[in-house]
Amino acid sequence: MKSKFKPVFNFIFGPVPSRRLGVSLGVDLMPHKTCSLDCVYCECGKTTHLTTKRKEYTPFDQIRKELDIFLSSHPHLDSITFSGSGEPTLHLGIGEIIKYLKKDYPEYSISVLTNGTLFHSLEVRDAVAQADRIIASFDAASDTVFRTINRPHPSIDLQEMVEGLAALKKECSNQVWMEIFIVPGHNDDDHELKQIQGAMDIIKPHQIHINTLDRPGTEDWVQPITQEVLKRIQACMHNVSVVDHAKHAAFPDEFSGDLLDMVLSTVKRRPCTAEDISEITGADLNKINQHLDILLKNGEVVKKKMPRGTFFSRI
């Protein structure tokens, strides 16, 4: 459906608060939903364009223009983070955009959230080499589990993926973190966890984070981990920390920009409750609910009940 609202920014969103990254401005290089994987837990919905082809999916000049507009006032940010509607390393211009940010805005730290599937290519490793932090997902070490959870493009080889990630860590002077999303019943048994630890021993990341379902994923059957599963993970794996989903505000005072635009661009990238958005923006909950009602009535968003609350997400 064509949106009735004309957004201020098409390729950047937030800033959003992140426990790991602090106040984070999102840069979304990919059209929804273009990715080399189709993860069952993906918060952006089902992959509609499953590909490993690298190209300039969105125009470099427009991304740079939006970044210049936003960054010209030198706002406080802890990270400029490449993430959003698909796999950012599929964008052929990611290296150029990182280089331009490093040159024109050297005060900012750059993070890349990636699914790690393309690092067997030296060109892709070189493209992200100047990022301060690369956070790559790795959810399975056996082929069957990989195909069940991540539903990869047929050309992706798990062994090559591990080798690519290990080469990235070896060549890159900056931080390489790994994130393992636990899907109970699939990658939480001792055998799979030990194999994942084996892959981590080869990659040798600086940090390993365990993630779990916090908001609606693509498949309804994916469940969050229990304390019992968490204990099993900590017994099978070394030095893992659990991603903390507690919220904190991105803006010290109430957000002063276009709130409707902020609400829409946030829920377009990841499902959020009204309370999440109120915490991110510092805006009054009633005001957020009024904006969400407008977006619901105009068919811009849908809502879904989950144990943590009612989530709003893109159609």
The residues that touch ligand SF4, with contacts defined as CB under 6 A, are 35, 37-39, 42, 44, 47, 86-87, 115
- Indicate if the alpha-carbon torsion angle 61, 66, 67, 68 is positive or negative: positive
Closest to ligand SF4 by CB, 151 vs 291, is 151
Least gap, CB of 83 to ligand SF4 (angstroms): 8
Instruction: Give the chain's length.
Output: 315
Closest to ligand SF4 by CB, 82 vs 251, is 82
Least gap, CB of 38 to ligand SF4 (angstroms): 5
Least gap, CB of 266 to ligand SF4 (angstroms): 16
- Give the integer Cα–Cα distance in Å for 118 and 53: 10
Least gap, CB of 13 to ligand SF4 (angstroms): 15
In this structure, what are the phi and psi dihedrals at residue 182, rounded to the nearest 5 degrees? -90, 125
Run of H or E including 149: helix 143-149
Least gap, CB of 58 to ligand SF4 (angstroms): 15
Closest to ligand SF4 by CB, 38 vs 192, is 38
Of the candidates 84, 87, 149, the one whose C-alpha atom is nearest the C-alpha of residue 117 is 87
User: Residue 282 class from Cβ within 10 Å (0-12 exposed, 13-18 middle, 19+ buried)?
Assistant: middle
Least gap, CB of 219 to ligand SF4 (angstroms): 11
Query: What are the tokens at 301?
Result: 């968003």
Residue 30 makes CB contacts below 8 A (sequence gap 6+) with: 57, 58, 84, 85, 86, 87, 88, 90, 91
Closest to ligand SF4 by CB, 42 vs 262, is 42
Q: Are 126 and 104 in contact (CB under 8 A)?
A: no
User: Residue 267 class from Cβ within 10 Å (0-12 exposed, 13-18 middle, 19+ buried)?
Assistant: buried
